[in-house]
Amino acid sequence: MNYTFLRKPCCTIESTNLCGLSQHPGSVEQISLRCAEGSLEWLYPNGALRLTLSPRLPSAAVGPVGSGHGSSGHITACVKPAESFLGAQLYLERDGVLELLVGDRPDESRPPRVRCFSTQPGERLALFLQATPHQDISRRIAAFRYELRGDWNARVSLDSDPISSEGACRPCNDTEILMAVCTSDFVVRGNIHSVVDDKDLRASVIKVSATRVYRQKYALFSGGGRLAKWGEIRTLLECGARPGAGSFLFTGRVHFGEAWLGCAPRYKDFLRAYDLAKEARQIPCELASD
């Protein structure tokens, strides 16, 4: 195959738009994905694209030193195909071996399936987007969103292959709770209004009435009255989330614009762990308490 090189985008959130009409059949164009999240849209797919993963992750996304995540070179990546994904197949290339992630025509009767995978230090990974031959010239668009993080672990690895959900439903210990307050995309105090199981999404959707929003990435919790804001948090279906009385401190990650649960202790249990750590001068960061 012939290889041609494209300009390497570099930004906080990158959006790459390509047209296969100018690409020679059988050629492979090389693109380097250097941002932690973004999207790619390939109009009239032709030939193939090889997408190397070389993100410049912000310090907050690589985990604390000694956490075993970003400090060790461990990266988790997830891709979410568009509902109208058509005209190509998306593969994971791991040390020269291809693994199919997204077929040419995903099942339109179900929501697009998110696929996640992890890299180890020194491992060579890339995404390979191969156009599917067609006789007609009808409009086709192969589009997907992606996210790359250095601080994800089993708790927020919501998909299946090849990431294990083992331990995702285990309650957090005090150390994990305090670290989650420092590193999560959202930290919210609130009450559980209801829990709805969505088998198509393979997730439970927790409706939360937030009485205080300490931090949030994007407007996850908004609206409501003067004293409360509303939002939704997802967790794995197998965790069996159920409504519970009392106030909780919800923490977690934003995944493709949706909030996914990390640690969620009762607020009184968080305060106990927080006060003990503060007294021992071992608190990783401060959070304004009521």
Mind listing the pLDDT tens digit for each residue in 166-181?
567 888 999 999 999 9
**Do 181 and 49 share a structural domain?**
no
**Do 216 and 180 share a structural domain?**
yes
Q: Which residue has the tokens 């291809």?
A: 98
**Do 18 and 116 share a structural domain?**
yes
d(CA 231, CA 197): 16
**In this structure, is residue 135 part of a structural domain?**
yes
Strongest mean pLDDT among 142-156, 164-178, 182-196 = 182-196
Exposure letters 200-237 (e unless 16+ CB within 10 A, then b): ebbbbbbbbbbbbbbebeeebbeeeeeebbbbebbbbb
CA atoms within 13 A on the CB side of 38: 22
pTM: 0.70
**In this structure, is residue 165 part of a structural domain?**
no
Contacts of residue 180, defined as CB under 8 A and 6 or more positions apart, other chains included, come to 172, 187, 251, 252, 262, 263
Give bridge partners of residue 251 from the DSSP assignment: 187
**In this structure, is residue 202 part of a structural domain?**
yes
d(CA 289, CA 139): 55
Give the distance, in angstroms, between the CA of residue 82 and the centroid of all CA atoms in the same chain.
15
**In this structure, is residue 234 part of a structural domain?**
yes
**In this structure, is residue 162 part of a structural domain?**
no
**Do 267 and 128 share a structural domain?**
no
**In this structure, is residue 289 part of a structural domain?**
no
Return the sign of the alpha-carbon dihedral for residues 103, 157, 208, 199.
Answer: positive
Kindly report which listed range (22-26, 253-257, 267-271) carries the lowest average pLDDT score: 22-26
Q: Which domain holds residue 225?
A: 174-279
Strongest mean pLDDT among 112-126, 154-168, 233-247, 264-278 = 264-278
**Do 46 and 138 share a structural domain?**
yes
